[in-house]
A and B are shown apart, each in its own frame.
Chain A
């Protein structure tokens, strides 16, 4: 416990030193704020424009979170179909790889053509970019069940639904979470990418990605830094939430969580 506390203090000291160094370099060399603002200028930008920063953050959170949630629901459902019928998996699995290789920046404009600019289009872009890792990892977990465990369920005359819900799905939880962790990280990137193309239907009311483009065009570099910082923290928060849920679901029984129990 004490070691954790020390570790946190050390990290904070490192952060303080870096910020100090950054501010010192900028002040000492008289770097123009639109080239590289110091941390004080960034903090001032956060303070001055807090409401619009928060509204951008809220929009991106909604898009990234919505896309991620949809990709989990749809991805797990598809993985279940893949696990239930081998021929479905054999036939359709190659197409899920296409999801991963399709250049999202190229099809984002297409999606905007189809659904119109705004939150829905960005959510769809996020959904597409998040889907493949969920399908791939969950399918792997669903089909890699020990043969004897399947035999056991056969001896028990379990229905296919029972095999899926009581054997394959719990067995797939660790790999499902691996997929969600990957997708949580890229969901924010997906949302930002989408926003670059379809950020807003009205000027000044888009998410972080839109606001970043806008601030860049206006040479509001300090605010841009603040937006980038907010986007980074958003991705980090998603990741952290998933880690926590994963711990909740697995810490009782899964080997990967043994360390945490021992502590």
Chain B
């Protein structure tokens, strides 16, 4: 599969959607009565979080595919998905922390179950790369990474249930994240922003897939032209390698 096709169209669509979503969030959506301007971070933070979690689950689905078919292509997909979600996840934690500081006065609050669950999930996935790095055998690395991706993907909803239960009775939910509780004029920018973030994720994912595939193809071609000795062997890496190399 060629990941480089339609990248330009996808990039433009992402840019337009994100710009429109932010413009609507700042100029169309009403000011929040309690939080004022700071509430605008909601249009970045929540879509970012939803997309990052979906990315983790997508990594798990590709992990299942990899275990079933043994096709290294799926391992690469799973790796790129989790890797990108980790980057977005760092963004979620930072924006969440800023929002918590602005609306509750603390950089971190333990009684916001969604944020706490996200931190736990983030910490778990943070071991993904060190684990990959410490397994030298390529085939084994890919297999173990897929088992991890599936386990962690299933852990995501379970963890949210447990953390939510731990706080359900002490603190009622102030915000409904995406459903009902949002006024109509806030819904449009929110959903548009969600779409924009999803497009951003897909675009970045395809860019990285295209880059990884291209560099491995280039390596294979170099080897063919200049001989095996001209291309230095790959060092130890957490990233999957393609069999064509």
Chains A and B are bound partners: no
**Residues in chain A within 8 A of chain B (CB atoms):** none
